[in-house]
Structure 1
């Protein structure tokens, strides 16, 4: 039985970890911690969690916790992931992994020094849809990949009290949304990009409400990624792969279980398909359980997490935004 403790009485946790755990017989959410004991207690009662703590370190000291799910604001990911690793726990840390690559490097070193696992929660990477795209490209039926285009946008009107709009807490469209298409293009190429340009629009606090970035990979593949939280923006989580012999367009890369499509075009002939799968978070939890048991490296840990944060840093620099905090 894998016993999980949640750091942060977070709104994302029910869909990301609590409900997926309930759909299994080998995982249990054993505890939750918040900075306020009353909030932790209320959250535990609402979600049927056995124990609650009004202090993060109290949860980390719980000898029955095997894995800590870090659901805190990005500004706290490094501190508490490292603390959990040093307490002898494996860690599943929400995306974005950290505030910058320097923090990500410290987190990775802590995992190496403690011998514990540190996994980033890019849940979509574990869905069969993402794995099918790997197969399509590897098969060569699109020819050589030439360019990629990824977008994750959706309306999130400016709110000065929301962590998604406060840059010092890890807010901004690139951190919150754009990290996904950045991860798609890096995963598909298996390479780290050079950021050739980036343009952003900022809110009054200095967080990016939109970001558009152009990338170039060592193999010659070019990519463009974009994100937007501007009020009224339609939800779009699409991915395009253009090859010398064909192309693929995917609708709904992030939550494919809610409905998605793959449109493949080769020789002027269209082929439409979908990929059977459960919710992305179920696939992620299954991969984590199996990875912890087998010791096999997972798709979203180690070099992958550090690489995504380094690319995010480079995009901000190219956009003229100083965001290398801590």
Structure 2
């Protein structure tokens, strides 16, 4: 048995996140793509060597040869089409953010359990050895008692007509960039889900944030901060720092270490650096998805995990005086 995946939408991220790593896998085939028009679907299929193209997501979901789908649609559509895929009996690899809000995430988690299907959120960084190493060091106690975790993802997106600034498509910096920062804070902060102490947004429009900063408090007592932006004075910032009573870890580019990364650990007066493979984080992610579907292996970014992340995102929006996003 192989994993036969159909893509919902001819998204720009799909070749990097799925098509390329699938081409190197003996367990995975990308067999179909659907788009809103037949021409768009066929053009994407021809360019990337995909056998079938559908002019409509429903037709792809009705294909009995497909046992899983990749959902890279706009944020506000993630929930709707993940529900439809589950109802059609498919496993789902869903791009982040998982849904528009926590309530919708809970609905998806319940549905995944009801249909006994794998639903995995595409936080690809989480499957790379670098992220696993941060988690390992924190769990080992080498840093001592955790005191603070700070994560950031800031990049420039000056095209303000982009769908990532559209409230009706569940847009905003916290949704697109900040979901990574929130998830990394949870992962590197000992696997706990924090509460939100305060949050401050810079706005692109009355309900849409172009930047967000939030202060967090974890159940074990340590604190945290997440910083994200799509347009701010923090032009490019991708990093994490975990501080404990005995030392700290500093990471540049935990998001996609295959491009470039710096990883250093300070314990007392000693400092060491570590290096990690150049294999793409997306390849590790696809390995994990295939192992879950084909062999029943657990995933680190499950639907239940997504509920926790979306709960924090909703709380940050409320703390900043903004409404949580709504499904499109």
| Structure 1 partner of 2:143 | 142
- Partner of residue 227, structure 1: 228
| Aligned residue in 1 for 2:182 | 182
1:270 is paired with a residue whose SS is: strand
- Taking structure 2 as the reference length, the TM-score comes to 0.96
* CA positional deviation for 1:277: 4.5
Q: Distance in 2 between matches of 1:231 and 1:136?
A: 33
Task: State the partner residue of 1:247.
Answer: 248
| Aligned length in residues | 325
User: CA separation of 1:137/1:115 partners in 2, compared to 1, >3 Å: closer, same or farther?
Assistant: same
8 Å Cα contact 1:136/1:142 also seen in 2:
yes
> Counterparts of 2:141 and 2:232 in 1: how far apart (Å)?
40
Q: Which runs of 5+ in 1 are unaligned?
A: none
Q: CA deviation at 1:296?
A: 2.3
Deviation at 1:324, TM superposition (A): 4.0
Once the 2 structures are TM-superposed, how far is the Cα of residue 275 of structure 1 from its aligned partner? Answer: 1.8
How far apart, in 1, do the equivalents of 2:310 and 2:149 lie?
A: 19
Give matches, 1:4-23, under 5 Å.
4-23=5-24
Between the aligned partners of 1:220 and 1:255, the Cα distance in structure 2 is 29
1:75 maps to 76
> How far off its partner does 1:170 sit?
1.9
Shift of 1:27: 1.1
Q: Distance in 2 between matches of 1:318 and 1:231?
A: 20
The one-character-per-residue Cα deviations of 1:252-295 (angstroms, maximum 9, x if unpaired) are 01010111111111111111121225100000001111122221
User: 1:138-196 deviations in whole A, cap 9, x for unaligned?
Assistant: 2211111110000000111141x311111221211110011112101212322211100
Q: What root-mean-square deviation, in Å, do the aligned CA atoms of Structure 1 and Structure 2 show?
A: 1.2
Rounded to whole Å, the distance in 1 between the matches of 2:71 and 2:279 is 23
1:199-257 deviations in whole A, cap 9, x for unaligned? Answer: 00111363110000000011001000000111664322100000000011000010101
SS of the counterpart of 2:196? strand
- Paired residue for 2:308? 307
CA contact (8 A) 1:147 1:243 kept: yes
- The higher-RCO structure (CA 8 Å, 6+ apart) is 2
